[in-house]
Amino acid sequence: MQNCEVCSKEFNGAFFNSVDKLHSTAVKCINYFNIADYQHVCLKCSNQNYVDAQSRLTDRKEVLTKIIATSIDGVQILTNHSPFDWQYQSIGIVTAQTTVGTGVITEFTSGLRDIVGMGSNRINSKLANAEEICFAQLRVKALLLGANAVIATDIDYGDIGIKSTLMICAAGTAVKVTNTEVLLQPEKIFDYKEATKELQVLSEFNFFS
Ligand SMILES: [Zn+2]
């Protein structure tokens, strides 16, 4: 039989006054954040550390998610087919799509004023937003393929037969640039990789939060 390394009580499965062992994944998480260095500990003795580990895990995941969301911008998206000075390997095609409700664009009853006036600003910002969504998809897909940039990118707007709805598609070639000094923000791609790796490690503790 094992005993708790803090209170020395023996682990038992008794209904009353039971001494239960803290799950090994929770132990790993507490040790990972250097809150303690446990091997076999009971629930009572580890309670505060358990709570601390949970909150550290949640905080760290939030930080990493933010880093990942902002560092994907490091993946440049170009329309050029062979950017000057770039040495790269083509990895594969990446595509993205989203839809946007256009409202006034197809509603001719709204009149010209809406199209050239306030309405068009609203549409422009909607379209810009939709393009950003597509670019983010291209970037993430490129990173997942092990690429660090997207070239020969093409963006298309199409009617999908649903009233007042436009489909926006983007496609490009994901490439792995080897002379990374030509990239504008190669450090962001490094940050992305590090954050993704760490998040992967933390996912081992997922059930815990
Ligand atoms: Zn104990």
Task: Specify if 50 maps to a domain.
Answer: no
Expressed as residue numbers, the domain containing 162 is 75-183
CA dist 47 and 13 (Å) reads 18
Instruction: Please report how many Cα atoms fall inside a 13 Å half-sphere around the Cα of residue 36, on the Cβ side.
Output: 20
For residue 7, the 8-state DSSP code is T
Task: Summarize pLDDT for 167-204 with one digit per residue, the tens.
Answer: 999 999 999 999 999 999 999 999 999 999 999 999 99
What pTM does this model have? Answer: 0.76
Task: Specify if 193 maps to a domain.
Answer: no
Domains of the chain: total = 1
Per-residue model confidence (pLDDT) at position 35: 96
| Number of helices followed by number of strands (H, E) in the chain | 5, 4
Task: Specify if 204 maps to a domain.
Answer: no
Tell how far CA 166 is from the center of its chain. 26
Q: From ligand 1's centre to the CA of 25, what distance in Å?
A: 17
More confident residue, 161 or 150: 150
Percent of the chain topping pLDDT 90: 74
Task: Specify if 113 maps to a domain.
Answer: yes
Task: Specify if 45 maps to a domain.
Answer: no
More confident residue, 111 or 182: 182
CATH of the domain at 155: 3.30.110.70
Phi, psi dihedral angles at 22 (to 5 degrees): -70, 135
Q: From ligand 1's centre to the CA of 69, what distance in Å?
A: 41
Average pLDDT, the chain: 89
Task: Specify if 202 maps to a domain.
Answer: no
Task: Specify if 136 maps to a domain.
Answer: yes
* Tokens found for residue 66: 């933010």
Give me the residues paired with residue 101 across strands. Answer: 165
CA dist 194 and 41 (Å) reads 32
Task: Specify if 157 maps to a domain.
Answer: yes
DSSP β-ladder status, 76-77 and 165-177: unpaired
Q: From ligand 1's centre to the CA of 46, what distance in Å?
A: 7
